[in-house]
Amino acid sequence: MDERTVRPVEGATADLADGFHDVDSTGTARDFIAYLRKAEQSESGRVVREATYRPLEGVSGKGADIGCGTGRTVADLGRLGKDVVGVDSSQAMVDAAVTRFPHCRFVKGDALALEFGDAELSWYRAERVFVHFHDPTQALSEASRVLKPRGTIVMADPDLDSMVLSSRFPKTTKAVKDAFCSAIPNPHAGTRNAAHLTHSGFTDIEVTPVMVTMSDYASAFHLMVEPALTAALAQGEISQEAAAEWTSDLHDLSRRAAFTAATTFFVTTARVRG
């Protein structure tokens, strides 16, 4: 989709809202990989990624980046001296990660049934992964099994309700945001992870909000507008005309340096009970 045009639903690119929980079955893994590469290259991607590295600074021992996608974090943490393996349930993602970073370790695996032994890991990291889980507590129970006592978990997810845009059509913005939230398995993960961690027996929980902002429409389009708009059109929540009016307004605001978009991510850290 070009940022100035709205494609008919039939021709929409991969449904980024609800495809990430099983990328290989979508038949459009390439679109998901391209999306992650754009997110990785963006300033907002860097800010969130680096916010998850800080809580791992003093942590040693073997760890895993769960839902590692195309592998950037595994390469970064390896460079920082961490003993790290990337795990992803998508073979296409693992292949992309291995191609990019052949010196790093990546394995295909499911966060709900990890191949690690009990208490094998000292740390566990997952960025923008729990937002795609229908049952996050199942994944947390598995995280708690593979982590050592006092082992560290670091999660980073948005609460998609925090998405704001400087549109002059706020009703359309709300309809698009609501449709996006209803298409994503766990859209409020960012603000719910802490409660799920408590429920799963983790302690020492800390939550750090990280607001990401985008001041031009082109960056916001790829990262949040296109996936949300695709969901809204697919659900019939807005018409093609409303979508065209909305995107053309956003484009116009951006051209006049009057565009702002923001979403808040929540970096949540905790420890396994000792």
Taking the least distance from each CB to ligand SAM, the nearer of 5 and 91 is: 91
Q: What is the DSSP string of 132-177?
A: G-S-HHHHHHHHHHHEEEEEEEEEEEE-GGG-EE--S-HHHHHHHH
Taking the least distance from each CB to ligand SAM, the nearer of 111 and 242 is: 111
Element (H, E) at 84: strand 83-88
Binding site for ligand SAM (CB under 6 A): 20-21, 23, 36, 40, 66-69, 87-90, 93, 110-112, 127-129, 132
Least separation, in Å, of the C-beta of 21 and ligand SAM?
5
Taking the least distance from each CB to ligand SAM, the nearer of 225 and 250 is: 225
Taking the least distance from each CB to ligand SAM, the nearer of 26 and 254 is: 26
* Contact indicator for 21, 185 with CB cutoff of 8 Å: yes
The two tokens of residue 47 are 């800010």
Taking the least distance from each CB to ligand SAM, the nearer of 21 and 177 is: 21
Least separation, in Å, of the C-beta of 219 and ligand SAM?
16
Least separation, in Å, of the C-beta of 43 and ligand SAM?
15
Least separation, in Å, of the C-beta of 33 and ligand SAM?
9
Taking the least distance from each CB to ligand SAM, the nearer of 90 and 167 is: 90
Listed in sequence order, the residues at least 6 apart from 157 whose beta carbon sits closer than 8 Å to its beta carbon are 127, 128, 129, 130, 131, 186, 189, 190, 193, 265, 266, 268
Least separation, in Å, of the C-beta of 35 and ligand SAM?
8
Taking the least distance from each CB to ligand SAM, the nearer of 191 and 260 is: 191
| Separation of alpha carbons 117 and 231, rounded Å | 39
Neighbour-count burial for 11-20, b at 16+ CB within 10 Å, e otherwise? ebbbbbbbbb
**Angle 244-165-234 (CA atoms, 0-180°, nearest 5)?**
45
Least separation, in Å, of the C-beta of 20 and ligand SAM?
5
Least separation, in Å, of the C-beta of 139 and ligand SAM?
7
Least separation, in Å, of the C-beta of 111 and ligand SAM?
3
- The Cβ-side half-sphere exposure at 236, using a 13 Å CA radius, reads 0
Taking the least distance from each CB to ligand SAM, the nearer of 24 and 83 is: 24
Element (H, E) at 189: helix 189-199
| Separation of alpha carbons 244 and 248, rounded Å | 6
Element (H, E) at 88: strand 83-88
CA distances from 112 to 88, 136, 206, 224 (A): 11, 9, 23, 27
